[in-house]
Amino acid sequence: MTTVQGAERDHIGFVVHTVLLAAPPPPGAAGIDHMNPKDTTSENLGRRPAVPTATVVRVAGPEDLLAYIPYRLGFEPAESVVAVSLTGPRQRVGLVARVDLDDLRLRQPDDPDGPDGAATARWLTDHVLADGADRAVVVLYTATDPTVPTGAARRAVDLLRARLERRLPGTEVWLVAPTGFRALDCADPMCCPAEGRPLTALQGSRVAAHMVLEGRTVAGTREERYALRPAPEVARTQARRAAARWTDTYRQLLNGTRFPDGGGPIDGATPIERTGRRSGAARDRRAAPSQVLRAERALGEWGAESLGLWRSALRVAAAAGPGQPAVLSPVDLGKIGAALADTPVRDAVLLSLAPGTEETALRTARRRADHDTDTATGSVMARIVDPVQGVPPDESITRAARDVLEAVVTHVPRNRRAPAYLLLALIAWWHGDGGLAAERVSDALGVDPDYRLALLLRGAIVGGVPPGWVRRERGSYLGEPDQGEAAAV
């Protein structure tokens, strides 16, 4: 790729490697996005420890990297700065991080709560280095004139470049404007005309063609990329009423059991049989033991029926063809949305995201926690978070789950959406889509600021902690031997 010192060197090959999770915004920099595209998965991810071969595309020229970035982000950047890390002997594209230009504005004395550009530049640099970068590329997206020294665009890109240059000398900067793309500081009109090279060169690049063949799309804006449009009013009314009725049934059953807090196996509450202790509410109950047992059985069946509704919706969503919306019952979506507020049902749905968990998920939904259930649950969670046992998500499962959860969000009232948002965030994080994960975690916490599992997941995202399979694969390719190929950016 072209450098400031040698703008004519712009046809060296590089490799696109789609595995790294990026971290979300630090406090006060809400415009930061990090994401990864869909990764290759295996037919039997839950039954073998091997990591599938990552998608690798050999390309040549800066236009291929610039064409790749929007597919990586999922939308066309605007008035943004994107940092890209290049890692390993073959200079694979790793971290891709976008920030708004305003996030790189230096804090003003009269605006102590405004953006802290220096902190954002430092944060970005730290994550590029943590990614194992040997080189870095910065891309400026703006419709303003970036040559004006006092302009916001120029100051933003210079701030980030200066920070990166301390550790990665030769950091390259490219400009993508409405008129074309070019190396920002290239003065050779033959290589980089003032208006830039035509953007059609990006649309027709080898990477763009590969992404289109894989079925990947690019939204026009960030808002469009994350938007979930509300369902028609009639459908939302049906879902709302069904959710209210399903919640009433749940509360009536719960009040007659020894689980008045609604807790379950994963979220910390422990059944009475395993502790020998009762809560204060349970000790005060006057119901006969047989009545309590009947209520508990009925509550377990409510959980099992809720999980059955989820599984039925998954089958409908999985049967829908590519690009075709699944036709799901508003009544069932309302019941699912209400049931997800129950911790055991939510955890059963979480467990169902991995293959081979049918029995464990059902026992969890029924509140039948025991040693075997705990062991199976731990094994499933290890597939997601553990760098030794972690496996990539099974797209055939998570795609349908994402469709159902998004349908729940678009049908139920806002105060019922936090669990669905949380599960959507977890799926995105497991796939390595840090930007979408951060967005959905923020959605969940916007509904319930004290949602414990959402707070835990946000901590992992903010800390830049990727899912287990990504950590393992990143470690493997950072140490790969040089194949003697021209693969540097």
pLDDT at 1: 30
Distant-in-sequence, close-in-space partners of 158: CB < 8 Å, separation ≥ 6 = none
CA–CA separation, 96 and 76 (whole Å): 13
pLDDT at 322: 67
Q: Which stretch, 44-58, 80-94, 157-171, has highest mean pLDDT?
A: 157-171
pLDDT at 276: 38
Residue 37 identity (one-letter amino acid): P
pLDDT at 57: 58
pLDDT value at 268 more than 90: no
pLDDT at 406: 96
Please, what are the domains in the chain? 13-226+470-478 (3.40.140.10), 233-416 (no CATH)
pLDDT at 477: 52
pLDDT at 7: 22
Cβ-contact 167, 129 below 8 angstroms? yes
pLDDT value at 476 more than 80: no
DSSP 169: T
pLDDT tens for residues 1-53?
Answer: 322 222 222 222 334 433 222 333 333 333 334 433 222 222 222 222 223 33
CA–CA separation, 52 and 469 (whole Å): 10
pLDDT tens for residues 444-468?
Answer: 999 999 999 999 998 888 777 788 8
Residue 223 to residues 28, 77, 229, 323, Cα–Cα distance (Å): 19, 11, 11, 20
